[in-house]
Amino acid sequence: MDAVVVLVLGLSCLFLLSLWRQGSGRGRLPPGPTPLPIVGNILQIDVKDISKSLTNLSKVYGPVFTVHLGMKPTVVVHGYKAVKEALEDFGDEFSGRSIFPVMERSNKSCGIVFSNGKKWKEMRRFSLTTLRNFGMGKRSIEERVQEEACCLVEELRRTNGSPCDPTFILGCAPCNVICSIVFQHRFDYKDQIFLNLMEKFNENFRILNSSWMQIYSAFPRIMKHLPGSHNNVFKNFDDIRSYILEKIKEHQETLDINNPRDFIDCFLIKMEQEKYNQMSEFVIESLVASVNDLFVAGTETTSTTLRYGLLLLLKHPEITAKVQEEIESVIGRHRSPCMQDRSRMPYTDATVHEIQRYIDLIPNNVPHAATCDIRFRDYHIPKGTNLITSLTSLLHDSKEFPNPEKFDPGHFLDESGNFKKSDFFLPFSTGKRACVGEGLARMELFLFLTTILQNFKLKSLFDPKDINTDPIVSAFGHVPPLYQLSFIPL
């Protein structure tokens, strides 16, 4: 395959060079390192650690600067003031997403995460309303998460206290929560349909993280005709799409307009209400794409946070012991944790916040794009320019969080041990594009972690001081190193 890649790269150079000529010299973009033709600033950026490289560049060029990733200029915003200004004060202007070729070919621009304009506004508003507690008929979202937390504990009991890699089980729980919300039912962790669905999402994650996909994104027209693992992504998308379509059909056959059971029912009702509107965004293809988006955005994020969280708790047994004390005194052993408990559990709340702050899951946020020509801090940013907002620069700000590289729930506690909020805590971003699943994700993190710690003692295979908690940087974000642990029933 190497020869093909070289050929492809070569052929594309001329094409890209012409693009680069067109792209340079318009407007007055923020300052930045001088780009080379074709590769831009890629040699000045360590692709293995983009967020650190951007922090380094911000020391030279200030809080708003331009880097060229390949041909395209990308504006980078760094630090609390500038990030808040871009995402909140210029919320509408920067609320776009640029379209990646992979997304285009898989109808992803129909959903929530990668859509734009009227379609995005309506899909987003609908999802936010529906995901709000009690949005879907009789069963609240909290009940669905609690049910899953119980099943998760049962599954962990089956490991009989022997050492295991928690990746698979911690991947099932958040995926099942989305299943429960969109399809009404959770699945057994051994259910073949469930395992197939998870495997397809996971495989796409692995491929999207590989160099194949990066080449595809750069040269979609050519790659489309070449063999390679990027084609599996489309095969997987098709399979997922057929499965979702099959489920939608089942829902249509059993729909009771007065009794929506889940996300799909709510969407079908909306479709019914808008059936005479020719311009309606509520069509089947948007439903498929939105359901797909909920899985993609809501599964890996939450499960990686849980897995990283348990690693940090293993590394810091003294912190885990304090959380367990709080669980014992506020909840006890004989009932399931619920969201109401959180306000009486400041130490646990602080620990969950600290897990999210420390791991800094999505260091550079999901890229935004300018929806129009923008005047931002005396710079001219043309419509369509990509915008990277550094969330690391807030979560690891050393004034707001002294010793930011240290895991310490004290970052979210005041002197008397009360929970202390921070405006710098933006792991879900902020503004018009902020995470649609924030409420759900925080519920899952709190309920899953407290339910696990209520039932098990976490046991490491090594001395805690030998546990490595440094993140592995992937295209997706920060993931924890592989590890094993035992769940010893309490």
Using CB under 6 A, which residues numbered 454 to 473 contact ligand HEM? Answer: none
Considering beta carbons, is residue 240 or 440 the nearer one to ligand HEM?
Answer: 440
**CB distance 359 to 21 below 8 Å:** no
What whole-number distance in Å separates Cα of residue 468 and Cα of residue 458?
16
**CB distance 50 to 364 below 8 Å:** yes
Residue of 75, 103, 113, 207 that binds ligand HEM (CB under 6 A) = 113
Residue of 5, 255, 434, 488 that binds ligand HEM (CB under 6 A) = 434
Kindly state whether residue 287 participates in binding ligand NAG, applying the rule CB under 6 A. Answer: no
Kindly state whether residue 441 participates in binding ligand HEM, applying the rule CB under 6 A. Answer: yes
73 contacts which partner out of ligand NAG, ligand HEM, none, CB within 5 to 8 A by kind? Answer: none
**CB distance 378 to 30 below 8 Å:** no
Q: What are phi and psi of 430, to 5 degrees?
A: -155, 165
Q: Any residues with CB less than 8 A from the CB of 78 and at least 6 apart, and which?
A: 54, 55, 58, 63, 64, 65, 390, 393
Residue of 124, 261, 307, 396 that binds ligand HEM (CB under 6 A) = 124
Residue of 301, 320, 393, 455 that binds ligand HEM (CB under 6 A) = 301
Residue of 98, 214, 474, 486 that binds ligand NAG (CB under 6 A) = 474
Q: Strand pairing partners for 91? A: none
**Which of these segments, 4-12, 258-266, 440-448, 470-478, binds ligand NAG (CB under 6 A)?**
470-478
What whole-number distance in Å separates Cα of residue 338 and Cα of residue 332?
12
**Which of these segments, 130-138, 358-366, 401-409, 467-475, binds ligand NAG (CB under 6 A)?**
467-475
Pairing of β 386-389 and β 368-369: antiparallel
Kindly state whether residue 386 participates in binding ligand HEM, applying the rule CB under 6 A. Answer: no
Q: Any residues with CB less than 8 A from the CB of 153 and at least 6 apart, and which?
A: 451, 452, 455, 456
80 contacts which partner out of ligand HEM, ligand NAG, none, CB within 5 to 8 A by kind? Answer: none
CB of 57 to ligand NAG, least distance (A): 8
Residue of 18, 56, 273, 343 that binds ligand NAG (CB under 6 A) = 56
100 contacts which partner out of ligand HEM, ligand NAG, none, CB within 5 to 8 A by kind? Answer: none
294 contacts which partner out of ligand HEM, ligand NAG, none, CB within 5 to 8 A by kind? Answer: ligand HEM
Q: Any residues with CB less than 8 A from the CB of 225 and at least 6 apart, and which?
A: none
52 contacts which partner out of ligand NAG, ligand HEM, none, CB within 5 to 8 A by kind? Answer: ligand NAG
Residue 36 DSSP label? B
Q: Which amino acid, 14?
A: L
Considering beta carbons, is residue 208 or 223 the nearer one to ligand HEM?
Answer: 208
**CB distance 335 to 57 below 8 Å:** no
What whole-number distance in Å separates Cα of residue 230 and Cα of residue 346?
46
In the block, tokens 């925080």 appear at 442
293 contacts which partner out of ligand HEM, ligand NAG, none, CB within 5 to 8 A by kind? Answer: ligand HEM
User: Given its phi and psi angles, is residue 400 left (phi above 0), alpha (psi -120 to 50 degrees) or beta?
Assistant: alpha
Kindly state whether residue 106 participates in binding ligand NAG, applying the rule CB under 6 A. Answer: yes
Kindly state whether residue 242 participates in binding ligand NAG, applying the rule CB under 6 A. Answer: no
Kindly state whether residue 43 participates in binding ligand NAG, applying the rule CB under 6 A. Answer: no
What whole-number distance in Å separates Cα of residue 451 and Cα of residue 418?
22
Residue 281 DSSP label? S
Burial of 192 (0-12, 13-18, 19+ CB in 10 A): exposed
Q: Any residues with CB less than 8 A from the CB of 482 and at least 6 apart, and which?
A: 165, 167
Kindly state whether residue 298 participates in binding ligand HEM, applying the rule CB under 6 A. Answer: yes
Residue of 46, 85, 142, 147 that binds ligand NAG (CB under 6 A) = 46
Residue of 5, 33, 49, 121 that binds ligand NAG (CB under 6 A) = 49
Give the residue ranges of DSSP H helices in 299-369: 300-315, 317-330, 346-359
361 contacts which partner out of ligand HEM, ligand NAG, none, CB within 5 to 8 A by kind? Answer: ligand HEM
Considering beta carbons, is residue 331 or 361 the nearer one to ligand NAG?
Answer: 361
Residue of 107, 214, 231, 469 that binds ligand NAG (CB under 6 A) = 107
**CB distance 446 to 352 below 8 Å:** yes
Residue of 7, 472, 482, 490 that binds ligand NAG (CB under 6 A) = 472
Count of CB atoms situated within 10 Å of the CB of 410: 17
3-state secondary structure string across 357-406:
HHHCCCCCCCCEECCCCEEECCEEECCCCEEEECCHHHHCCCCCCCCCCC
Considering beta carbons, is residue 35 or 79 the nearer one to ligand HEM?
Answer: 79
Residues of this chain that interact with ligand HEM (CB under 6 A) are 112-113, 124, 131, 293-294, 297-298, 301-302, 305, 361-362, 365-366, 368, 427-429, 433-437, 440-441
List of residues contacting ligand NAG (CB under 6 A):
46, 49, 52-53, 56, 106-107, 206, 209, 237, 241, 285, 472, 474-476, 479
